[in-house]
Amino acid sequence: MELLDRFPPKRTDDGHTEPIHLQKLDGHVRDSATLQRSMASGMAYELAMDSFFGASHAIRPSGARHTHSFRIQATFVTSSVDENGMICGFREVSDILNAEARRYVNQFINEIAPFDMVQPTGENLATVIYRNLVKALGEEMPGGPELVSVTLWENPTSSVRVGAWRAA
């Protein structure tokens, strides 16, 4: 089977398909850029990256201070890849996520704004991390992937996921 027979034609905005025209020599694609574009045509991509940090918090007014090993997962989407077939540089996204996680490493979260004024719940922490990542992506990777959600685990079995979608 010809390699490109595995890839369906490109979909248009109205739902119809149109053929992908490829440069072929001797029945084979000889242009890697064209092959890359045809492979990516009509696809959606999701990238998830994780980071970890240890920190403590207390739920006011009378909650005891306790420590968690937090895990953050940021999920990004895009409808395109670059000429190498990548959503974006994994290193750039990882650096942005890790920089956000470092804000909390070995800290008492209650002493970090805005948690000095609002409860440092998992929901609030995930929301602040989400908003900070959106801002950092806009500054450091304009036109890059879209952040769709942040999932925060306080332990291996409990998590909260936040994003800019409408809850059911």
In this structure, the number of other CB atoms found within 10 A of the CB of residue 64 comes to 7
Q: What is the pLDDT of residues 123-158, one digit of tens each?
A: 999 999 999 999 999 999 888 888 999 999 999 999
Instruction: Spell out the residues 6+ positions from residue 98 whose beta carbon is closer than 8 angstroms to its own.
Output: 51
Q: What is the pLDDT of residues 22-73, one digit of tens each?
A: 545 455 666 777 777 777 777 788 889 999 999 999 998 888 999 999 999 9
- Report which of 52, 59, 50, 55 is spatially closest to residue 124, judged by C-alpha positions: 59
Task: Determine, yes or no, domain membership for 168.
Answer: no
The pLDDT assigned to 152 comes to 98
**Are residue 116 and residue 91 in the same domain, yes or no?**
yes
**Are residue 145 and residue 75 in the same domain, yes or no?**
yes
The pLDDT assigned to 15 comes to 63
| Structural domains counted in the chain | 2
Q: In the sheet where 158-163 sits, what is the strand order?
A: 45-57, 66-78, 146-155, 158-163
Q: Give the domain range for residue 33.
A: 3-40
Does residue 147 contact residue 132 with C-beta atoms inside 8 Å?
no
pLDDT band at 8 (very low <50, low <70, confident <90, very high): low
pLDDT band at 91 (very low <50, low <70, confident <90, very high): confident
The pLDDT assigned to 108 comes to 97
The pLDDT assigned to 109 comes to 97
Assessment of whether the complete model's pTM goes beyond 0.85: no
The pLDDT assigned to 1 comes to 37
**Are residue 91 and residue 69 in the same domain, yes or no?**
yes
**Are residue 137 and residue 97 in the same domain, yes or no?**
yes
Higher pLDDT, 19 or 147: 147
